[in-house]
Chain A
Amino acid sequence: MSQEPSYLEHTSSLQRRGILSWLLTTDHKRIALMYMWALMFWFTAAVFLGLTMRTELMKAGETLFGAETYNALFTLHGVIMVFLFIIPGIPAIFGNFFIPIQIGAKDVFFPRLNLLTWYLYILGGILAIVSLFVKGLPDTGWTFYVPFSIKTEREISLALIAVFILGMSSMLTGLNFITTIHRLRRREMGWFQIPLFTWSVYASSWVQLLATPIIAMTLLIVVFERFFGAGLFDPSRGGDPLLYQHLFWMYSHPAVYIMILPGMGIISEIFPVFSRKSIFGYKAIVAASMAIAVVGSLVWAHHMFVSGMSDTAILVFSLLTYLVAIPSAVKVFSWVSTMYRGSVQMSPPLLFGLCFVYLFSIGGLTGLVLGSAGTNVHVHDTQFVVAHFHFVMFGGAGFAFFGGLHYWWPKMFGRMYSFKRAYAGIFMLTAGFMLHYMPMFVLGMQGMPRRYYDYLPVYEPGNFLAGIGAYIMAAGIMVIFINLIISLKKGEQAPANPWGGVTLEWQIQSPPTVHNFTADPEIGEYPYDFTRLNKNREKEK
């Protein structure tokens, strides 16, 4: 296949050159890359904040700074990681880049809207930064619980508006994806011929679309309360702070699935390709994605078992929480079984996938401890919860994100990276991860609450170990990033299909041309049919 100019050299609007050909682009691939650089900035910033926080915690008492700074640090770390990195992360980068390609389209359905979401994202980020310099650092935690968020004198309103705008950005991205998948899919591609990554982003886009408005309104009301004293949540004016929690988690729990579903989609792509074998139970995985999206929207109040909510509500939400565990378990079993009698080739993306399954399983299983009412009461709002959601969000969504980065990097940039450095990075990251978060499970069981600047001496060894782990983890992330950046300059030219994938993105050149396809792609009966590929390989021999 002769190489044609790629989207990196050639733009759809030929008259624009240089930086404007990026800032005014409507090419989904270029927008994906713009998202990538912006997200990387925020991710690095939040890692740095987290690291500073864990350094302070390594020793009991004041070491580097006071409680005020610490409270701001965990607030910023949470807000940035949740709203500026994980929620938009996988859909904005990989969804933008690969959904149109996986369904054989030239672009998303609303290309200009797509660009607008990027600007909203940037605007939200800028507002978040500005909010830091108005009346001191925000100190509410990323959950903005009332009445604290109404009473605090720090600048919360701007931060809330920033979150509102970021929500709008990701909601519109979801809207765009749903429309794209419905209207721009190739005629030959039926619903059960859609690759699993696209499926999972589709499922999470619906959650995005329907749940985001709820938090948008809730945060607006908090802003109203702060400006006008509209006492809708303030107990001293007859408001009910529990209602805030309900509305907050009605979005923010489904948001957990907005974060993890696209990650699961990436893992569902990686396992078959590196096993050269069809995914095990394609339809079950699709059904599981939809089930997670639906049932996951009905379990929000399991964050509120000690809030004073009625015991009946606790019964119902605890039961539903256990039900939502099943589809995730089905997915894990399917991924592992995909390797059975496959032809497994170790590679950085697969290693990320394996680590994902291990870490995500720990995250999911500890979720069972939290879902059960009796055990929840003891570990609720302790370090146990912190460990649990980092296993799910970082060990899960984060590792899937990195896995996707290594899986699609050759396609996005046309360069291969060094496997050796990648393995070294993954090893450090995973080892550091375990050392960082495992002690927190123990600390939580011992009773150390979360968001604690200072603690009793009993908790010192655990916090110290966690601090060491944090540094190893950060070093691993650095190795991974440096490796990828080096590849841009020095990496070997990537072939069109370096891994032997069968979804459409591997049928086109790396990096793709502006309109993705130079010839009509072949769409098989079944999206993970490796038999033809394997036969061709035999013929070549």
Chain B
Amino acid sequence: MGTAAVSDSQGSRFGMWLFLYSEIMLFGALFILYAAYFLKYQSGFAAGGSELDLTLGTANTLILLTSSFAVASSLAAVQKGSMKLSGAFLLSAIVLGMVFLGIKYFEWSHKISAGIYPGSAAFKAADPAGHGRIIFYNLYFTMTGIHAVHVTIGLIVLMITFAFTASGRISRDNHALLENAGLYWHLVDILWIFIFPMLYLIA
């Protein structure tokens, strides 16, 4: 039965794009909140932003960018038929993603040990003049937290993809999964490109 004359992979990529739109809207809600509070508490945001470690933030940006590049290279390698190279690129992308999470974990624990976290005693006692900084850090934890969840999901997807490349289920003629996993990983990267200046470069 000739229902439709399109190949499967084209459709699943289309579906993936739709999903990415919805992810952008998900973060869009956070960006709206950020914009509204930034207008209200500019100095508080600047104070909060200056306390973040710019070096670590920049390092993480570069790491995620490189990782994204590795996934793209992995796809290019599959299209040329060299599965080994593709697997190697994918693996390095996964490792870089984990390093990103590690640095994030270090940053978070550093802040938490300094008493800076949502609902902390220091924040509860703060006077209205300090509201801007509290809001900044609440946004910081929410945004980076939800982004980290996305990184984790992305990593799991990449690992599954890696297992499929190793077992040969992904090949030159059948690499829709790798393509979609790559799209998702790029999204995670792009979101970070937006989040990074909002939090780290605000000061």
Chain A residues close to B by CB (< 8 Å): 104-106, 109-110, 171, 175-176, 178-179, 182-187, 209-214, 216-218, 220-221, 224, 228-232, 237-240, 243, 246-247, 250, 515, 517, 520
Query: Would you give 6 A-B contacts (Cβ < 8 Å), ordered by A?
Result: A105-B3, A187-B4, A214-B29, A232-B142, A239-B135, A515-B1
Contact indicator B11/A232 (Cβ below 8 Å): no
The residue that A214 contacts in the complex, of B19, B28, B117, with Cβ under 8 A, is B28
Let me know if A221 and B41 touch, CB within 8 A.
Answer: no
Closest CB in chain B relative to A523 CB, distance in Å: 12
CB distance from B127 to the nearest CB of A (A): 10
Please give 10 more A-B residue pairs, beta carbons under 8 A apart, in addition to A212-B25, A230-B142.
A175-B19, A179-B14, A183-B10, A184-B11, A185-B4, A186-B2, A213-B22, A228-B118, A238-B41, A246-B32
* Smallest Cβ-Cβ distance to A171: which chain B residue: B22
A217 and B135 form a contact (CB under 8 A): no
- Taking a contact as CB atoms under 8 Å apart, the answer to whether B22 and A238 are in contact is no
Contact call A179/B37, Cβ cutoff below 8 A: no
- The dominant DSSP class at the B interface is helix
B119 at the interface (CB under 8 A from A): yes
Chain B residues positioned under 8 Å from A182 (CB to CB): 11, 14
B110 interface residue (CB < 8 Å to A): no
Whether the Cβ atoms of A230 and B118 lie closer than 8 Å is yes
Bound complex: CA A114 to CA B163 (Å):
26
Cross-chain contact A210 with B25 (CB below 8 angstroms): yes
- Report whether B131 and A232 are in contact in the complex, using a CB–CB cutoff of 8 Å: no
Note all chain A residues with C-beta closer than 8 A to B14.
179, 182-183
B1-22 residues at the A interface, CB under 8 angstroms: 1-6, 10-12, 14-15, 18-19, 21-22
- From B2, B18, B25, B132, give the contact of A211 (CB < 8 A): B25
Evaluate contact between A213 and B4: CB separation under 8 angstroms: no
CB distance from A201 to the nearest CB of B (A): 15
A211 to B28, CA, bound (A): 10
Residues of A within 8 A of B139 (CB): 232
By a CB distance below 8 angstroms, the chain A residues around B69 are: none
Closest to B19 in A: A175
Say whether B11 contacts A209, CB under 8 Å: no
B1 near A213: Cβ-Cβ < 8 Å:
no
Q: Are B18 and A175 in contact (CB under 8 A)?
A: yes
User: Which chain A residue shows the least CB distance to B14?
Assistant: A179
CB closest residue in chain A, given B4:
A184
The residues of A that contact B169 with a CB separation of less than 8 Å are none
Interface pair B30/A109, CB less than 8 Å apart = no
A179-B15 contact in complex given A213-B28, A229-B119, C-beta closer than 8 Å: yes
Contact B135 A238, beta carbon cutoff 8 Å: yes
Which residues of chain B from 23 to 40 have a CB within 8 Å of any chain A CB? 23, 25-30, 32-33, 36-37, 40
B30 to chain A, nearest CB (A): 6
C-alpha gap A183/B3 in the complex (Å): 9
Closest A residue to B131 by beta carbon equals: A238
Which of A179, A212, A218 meets B22, CB within 8 Å?
A: A212
